[in-house]
Structure 1
Amino acid sequence: MPNNIKMHVGELRVGMYVSKLDKDWLDTPFIMQGFSIEEQDDIDIVSEYCEYVWVDVDHSRKLSVHSSGTGSASQARASVNAFAPEVSIQEEHRKAYRTFRNARSLTKTMLDDIRLGGALDGSKAREMVNDCVQSVIRHPDALLWMAKIRDERAYTAEHCLNVCILAIAFGRQLSLDESGLHDLGMCGLLHDVGKMRVPEEIVDKPASLTPKEMRLMKAHTVHGRNLLLASSNIFNGAIDVAYSHHERIDGVGYPRKLPGHGISRYSRIISIVDAYDAMTADRCYSRARTSTEALKIIYEERGKQFDEALAVKFIETIGLYPAGSIVELYSGDVGIVLESNQKYRHLPRVILLLDENKKAREKELIKDLVYIESGEIPRKYLVKQVWRDGSFDIRLREYQKKGLVLKH
């Protein structure tokens, strides 16, 4: 067993190995716990977020003799995405708004047609996914911001589109090529198509499902597979995902209770994205969780419900404060995250809407929190907490209609 000693951050010294923090790792910029202290800067980073840590004494002794290769505190931060945005967030927001609006309309029409017994139009679906892929390649945060804007009355359609967008962004982080992003986007878009064969009163029931209703709900995976098999020019991977996205790594998922090694990579990916989007949406029977709460659940379920490596990579993709998040700063100011920071995940660009007294500002103010690193902005502007959409009477849909993001 590791020989862990609780220690105040003021006692940290170069050569020590930090094995645990006094808070959840998702409340810090470290993508995972377990790193060595290699220089004073590492101690300063830890001190910003923790008062106490646990030091693995045995591991620390080994570090004094050998190079561990475990990484320092600086390296333990979320890694930088290899794909830099091609355009500014402001430029892409203008395009992403049109892309998202058209995609939302097409998705709803596509699912309504299927519900009424029509055939799936694969060509239109591919065109729509292509538009989403191109937007994510140009700048992923713009479309991810749009995906935060929801209409509870059209949950299934918006969920399918959001999973498509999130999956493409995740695939970009996984270094998939453009063809792979198209395939993954189609998997996300079509993963829940089988729900069009489940009675709406069951899909939208505001109370717990009976055992019979649950069986009918779970059957959407079989319906989805059959619908896509009967359609022409559908990527085979999307058929598998529709059938298998509720399978679990621990082998207790449905419909086939597949063991982890029997679940395709695309199904493993969509399983995570599907769960995240569902948890962060208001439903008729549950309130939305914040992105931080949802990511904590995904982290806790890694190796059980979700593929462990992919779960950690997805958390890295979404980051601490994804675009579109409503955040409160330590200063008391409240705003919306405009753009995440690939290098310093805890220092996004934020549009401040309310001042420290929670009063509306006469003019919205953009704060690029990365300047906290250089001391140009006071540390009081660090993010304190993420809030749900609607908190402080801030609703993303209303601000989008006002053109808040588009005008900056």
Structure 2
Amino acid sequence: MVGSSSNLTKLHVGELRVGMYVAKLDRDWLDTPFIMQGFLLEDTEDIDIVSEYCEYVWVDTAPHKASPYSSGVGTATSAPRSRFQPHVDVKEEQRKMVNAFRAARRETKGMLDNIRLGEAINTEQAKETVRECVQSIIRHPDALLWMARIRDEREYTAEHSLNVCILAVAFGKQLGLDEQDLEKLGLCGLLHDVGKMRVPVDILDKPGELTEKEKRMMKAHTVHGRNLLMSTPSIYAGAIDTAYSHHERMDGTGYPRKIPGSGVSFFTRIIAIVDAYDAMTADRCYSRAKTSTEALKIIYEARGTHFDEQLALKFIQTIGLYPPGSLVELYTGEVGIVLESNQTFRHLPRIILLLDEQKNKRAKEKIVDLIQVESGDLPRRFLIKQVWRDGSFGIVLREYQKRGLVLKH
């Protein structure tokens, strides 16, 4: 929270020092990529990032306590080192993941369709899907996260279930969970919405606002999910709890039981955040997708009330400003897609440029590593100016993936 105006001091970015708390910028927060509106400068790297976007800032001289999950400027520039380190090239992993992801999506859709028809949950199939996701994320998280950005509104439920699994495992990896716990967490993510297979399709896909009766039927998916999983032999107990409680809130305003955060399990708190993020960043029949940055800002604002505060901040740090698959515009006017994150400088990813300065399609796609801005090999105008929704400028991520964009470079 920003202190009173009497505590604010205007400084040139050249005067900033580690330990200062930036409370106000020389421009609107929405014109910058900073998710957190107010942040502690924890190291010289944070100062460098602020300097790239601002000339002057106002620092709050009142004491501020850093969150144990703080990431400085809120750009996720320095995610903690995991016990697992990527050991394959992202392009190689993407080659393997294209067909594997499609297969996992088909299997997930088939499993959910069978449940809707009254068949039992195929536990072994679900576990195998999760194991494959865990292994890919251990090898290289960006590859699977890139695939999770590719959307098909017609396959929302299956895609959402699989994406929550993928994102939860990637998040759990950053939290330092071991492989066994990652598989448990992934299973919680894959099956969290299984109860929706007991909700009528016309309610799930209704383009307009739900009636009060329809809202009650929709909310009942948590109870249906619990009952379905409780009747499934050898299912992980945590998955039952997550299916039942992932819409509970820290302040006790959630459903179905309206219990406070103290009664919600660790894995369920994780899935609650991931579920909300993936839902917000997907096109639905009743709403347009938000950009990743917009969704993360909403999660940030709801920390401590809807979501576990420390986990929300950590999730923002894990996803970063520009996750793989983000459609971005540079200050040059050029437009491209993020291919790979930079684990040290998360605001300087590796991108492929598709449109030139006038927003015309380039004769030849060009890969640019924005870390060259940090080294001085590229001018500052190559910084990212804005994130756009998938489909902007006629760029549809799914179509580029089908054409093998990530496979031929």
- Tell me the residue number matched to 1:118: 119
- Tell me the residue number matched to 1:394: 395
Instruction: Evaluate the alpha carbon distance shift between residue 351 and residue 70 of structure 1 in structure 2; reply closer, same or farther with a 3 A threshold.
Output: closer
Q: Counterparts of 1:172-191 in structure 2 under 5 Å?
A: 172-191=173-192
Q: CA deviation at 1:43?
A: 5.0
Q: CA deviation at 1:76?
A: 8.5
Alignment partners' CA distance in 2, 1:72 and 1:298: 15
| Contact residue 29 and residue 77 of structure 1 kept, 8 A | no
Q: Counterparts of 1:4-15 in structure 2 under 5 Å?
A: 4-9=7-12, 12=15, 14=17
Q: TM-score, normalised by structure 1?
A: 0.92
- Tell me the residue number matched to 1:63: none
1:163-189 per-residue CA deviation (whole Å, 9 max, x = no partner) reads: 010101010111100011100100000
1:278-321 per-residue CA deviation (whole Å, 9 max, x = no partner) reads: 00000000000000000000000000000000000000111000
Alignment partners' CA distance in 2, 1:355 and 1:93: 26
| Contact residue 18 and residue 37 of structure 1 kept, 8 A | no
- Tell me the residue number matched to 2:160: 159
**2:185 partner letter:** L
| Contact residue 242 and residue 267 of structure 2 kept, 8 A | yes
Q: Are 1:327 and 2:328 counterparts?
A: yes
- Tell me the residue number matched to 1:35: 40
Q: Counterparts of 1:363-374 in structure 2 under 5 Å?
A: 363-374=364-375
Q: Counterparts of 1:338-357 in structure 2 under 5 Å?
A: 338-357=339-358
Instruction: Evaluate the alpha carbon distance shift between residue 157 and residue 12 of structure 1 in structure 2; reply closer, same or farther with a 3 A threshold.
Output: same
| Contact residue 69 and residue 310 of structure 2 kept, 8 A | no
Instruction: Evaluate the alpha carbon distance shift between residue 212 and residue 175 of structure 1 in structure 2; reply closer, same or farther with a 3 A threshold.
Output: same
Higher relative contact order (CA 8 A, sep 6+): 2
* Local SS of the residue matching 2:128: helix
Instruction: Evaluate the alpha carbon distance shift between residue 205 and residue 190 of structure 1 in structure 2; reply closer, same or farther with a 3 A threshold.
Output: same
Alignment partners' CA distance in 2, 1:270 and 1:350: 29
Instruction: Evaluate the alpha carbon distance shift between residue 335 and residue 262 of structure 1 in structure 2; reply closer, same or farther with a 3 A threshold.
Output: same
Q: Counterparts of 1:282-321 in structure 2 under 5 Å?
A: 282-321=283-322
Q: TM-score, normalised by structure 2?
A: 0.92
Instruction: Evaluate the alpha carbon distance shift between residue 14 and residue 110 of structure 1 in structure 2; reply closer, same or farther with a 3 A threshold.
Output: closer
| Contact residue 192 and residue 224 of structure 1 kept, 8 A | yes
- Tell me the residue number matched to 2:24: 21
Percent same amino acid among aligned pairs?
Answer: 63
Matched positions, count: 400
Q: Are 1:98 and 2:93 counterparts?
A: no
**Mind listing any 5+ residue stretches in structure 2 that lack a counterpart?**
none
Alignment partners' CA distance in 1, 2:7 and 2:135: 48
Alignment partners' CA distance in 2, 1:7 and 1:56: 9
Alignment partners' CA distance in 1, 2:305 and 2:16: 36
**Mind listing any 5+ residue stretches in structure 1 that lack a counterpart?**
61-68
- Tell me the residue number matched to 1:46: 50
* Local SS of the residue matching 2:362: strand
Alignment partners' CA distance in 1, 2:146 and 2:69: 34
Instruction: Evaluate the alpha carbon distance shift between residue 260 and residue 96 of structure 1 in structure 2; reply closer, same or farther with a 3 A threshold.
Output: same
| Contact residue 12 and residue 43 of structure 1 kept, 8 A | no
Alignment partners' CA distance in 2, 1:44 and 1:350: 21
